Amino acid sequence: MPFFAFIIVPTAHAAPAAGGFVCGTAQGVPSTNAIKRDGSQVPVIRWTSTTFESAGWSQERRCKEVSNRFDTYLKQGRLAYITTGRINGLPVICTTNRRGGACDGLLYTLKPGQNATATLRNLLEIRVKARGPLNETTSRLYVSLDELMKTAQTNSSEAVSPKPTDTKSQSTSPLW
């Protein structure tokens, strides 16, 4: 039986909890950080894997590229949920505007055969654990950005100091 997990956002018309995204560091590794309304940063993804370095995608490069994509999609209003899907036959982590929706914006491409749902769970493990058990009903995982940020706001131990970094990248190639 298929499963998916989602976090319901209680107020659909509230202003986005994240003000932007940057590549910074958390616990000594590159991390995609969400900028909260108060200006503090909270790590969303810690880039610990070195799997793609041989293909030219260092932890820092992936951090900058994906952080830029997060920030762009947020500013375009295309980042209500983070989910999984397939683009050009490859598993991806992507964005969508609604729970149950198809991929609207590519965050990054996974290796062929890699389990996208498990990868998304692992990337957001700290946020999801902080939220508690997820409601699982199909194979796709939908994570609400606003709920993620609300959880982060109540867990100040994960906030990091703001560090200005250049997150701009001109690359449109897959991140694998």
Residue 172 CB partners (closer than 8 Å, separation 6+)? none
Q: Is residue 114 part of a domain?
A: yes
pLDDT on residue 71: 94
Per-residue pLDDT tens digits for 15-65: 455 689 999 998 899 999 888 888 888 888 888 888 778 889 899 999 999
CA distances from 24 to 45, 46, 104, 162 (A): 10, 9, 25, 8
| Range of the structural domain that residue 75 is part of | 5-9+17-154
pLDDT on residue 60: 95
Mean pLDDT lowest among 71-85, 90-104, 128-142: 128-142
pTM for the model: 0.71
Q: Is residue 72 part of a domain?
A: yes
pLDDT on residue 151: 66
Q: Is residue 167 part of a domain?
A: no
Q: Is residue 88 part of a domain?
A: yes
Mean pLDDT lowest among 10-19, 27-36, 118-127: 10-19
Burial of residue 15 (CB within 10 Å: 0-12, 13-18, 19+) is: exposed
Q: Is residue 33 part of a domain?
A: yes
Q: Is residue 44 part of a domain?
A: yes
Looking at the chain, the whole-number percentage of residues with pLDDT higher than 90 is 26
Question: Span 129-137, mean pLDDT?
Answer: 40
Question: Where is pLDDT greater, at 166 or 115?
Answer: 115
pLDDT on residue 162: 41
Q: What is the DSSP string of 116-140?
A: HHHHHHHHTHHHHHHH---EE-SS-
Number of domains in the chain: 1
**Which amino acid, residue 64?**
K
Q: Is residue 166 part of a domain?
A: no
Q: Is residue 162 part of a domain?
A: no
**Which amino acid, residue 76?**
Q
pLDDT on residue 126: 45
| Residues 9, 61: Cα–Cα separation, whole Å | 32
